[in-house]
Amino acid sequence: MMRDPEPWVNDFAIRSFRDIADGDYIAARMACRAALLPQYLWASQQAIEKYLKCILLLQRIPAPKVRHNLAAALQKIEESGKLAMDLSAPTRAFVAYIDDYGPYRYMEVSHWGEGRDILKLDRAVFELRQHCTPEDTPRHKVTEGVMPPKIRLRGGYLEKIIDSKRKSANTARAALLWQNAFFGTKTRRFVRIGGWVQSSSSPLSMTPELIDHVKQYVYLPNDLIAWCTNEAQKKRP
């Protein structure tokens, strides 16, 4: 039996949540840059969810029923009184946006996004990730018109990628550093990103009566089934 499980719990939070979230974050940047909208939304949701769960675990805030709900996770953290997140309004808006669209991987709902979202993603990760450490380190709020400091977490996966010179890490490093104002070795006063804008209507939003046929064969969330059923009833004569 472990004498002191606390360090091991922290290790689990770092390796199973923060490190994996760092990889999801890079994947989200790559997908956003390539205008792969559903993949960008899903990877962003996965990254933010894991950063929030890392914070919950490091702060020992019970939240076993939170699952994939970002708003619920954030509420648990803020109501605990254990730390002040002090998130900016743009980050809160982006987290809410990802909470609405990110969980749907199969075009169950309509999607929309734009290339400039990568800036919102970078900012949100910067603000959330700085709390993903058991160490008592300074936290920084992002202020409009002020260059954000370079925050490095000891033993962080992103930091290892940034510092790596190995060829095997070059692709991930390039994807992380590309036009990134928040992470990297350079202080960027300006970033130049793609200007794509994309939207797509889901099959169920266009023909909600499909729900009666599709739900017989695949899992769909109850709230989506309820919405489609309600919309299908409205269309009936």
pLDDT on residue 126:
96
> Quick one: 65 and 176 in the same domain?
yes
For the stretch 141-185, pLDDT in tens is: 787 777 788 889 999 999 999 998 765 557 899 999 999 999 988
Half-sphere exposure of 64 (CA within 13 A, CB side): 0
> Quick one: 102 and 86 in the same domain?
yes
Lowest-confidence pick of 62-71, 151-160, 161-170, 203-212: 161-170
Question: 1 pLDDT band (50/70/90 cuts)?
Answer: low
Count: domains in the chain: 2
> Quick one: 226 and 195 in the same domain?
no
CA distance 34 to 56: 32
pLDDT on residue 107:
86
pLDDT on residue 168:
58
- Secondary structure (DSSP) of 51-116: HHHHHHHHTT---TT-TT-HHHHHHHHHHHTS------HHHHHHHHHHHHHTT--SSSS-EEEETT
Is pLDDT at 105 greater than 90 in this prediction?
A: no
Residues 6+ apart with CB under 8 A from 151: 126, 129, 130, 137, 140
Give me the domain span that covers residue 208: 202-237
Question: 106 pLDDT band (50/70/90 cuts)?
Answer: confident
- Secondary structure (DSSP) of 116-173: THHHHHHHHHHHHHTT--SS--------TTSPPP----TT-HHHHHHH---GGGHHHH
Supply the mean pLDDT for the chain.
90
Percent of the chain exceeding pLDDT 70 equals 97
Indicate whether 46 belongs to any domain.
Answer: yes
Indicate whether 116 belongs to any domain.
Answer: yes
> Quick one: 10 and 118 in the same domain?
yes
> Quick one: 36 and 148 in the same domain?
yes
pLDDT on residue 170:
77
**In the predicted model, what is the mean pLDDT of residues 185-198?**
82
Indicate whether 1 belongs to any domain.
Answer: no
Percent of the chain exceeding pLDDT 90 equals 63
> Quick one: 154 and 54 in the same domain?
yes
Indicate whether 36 belongs to any domain.
Answer: yes
> Quick one: 237 and 192 in the same domain?
no
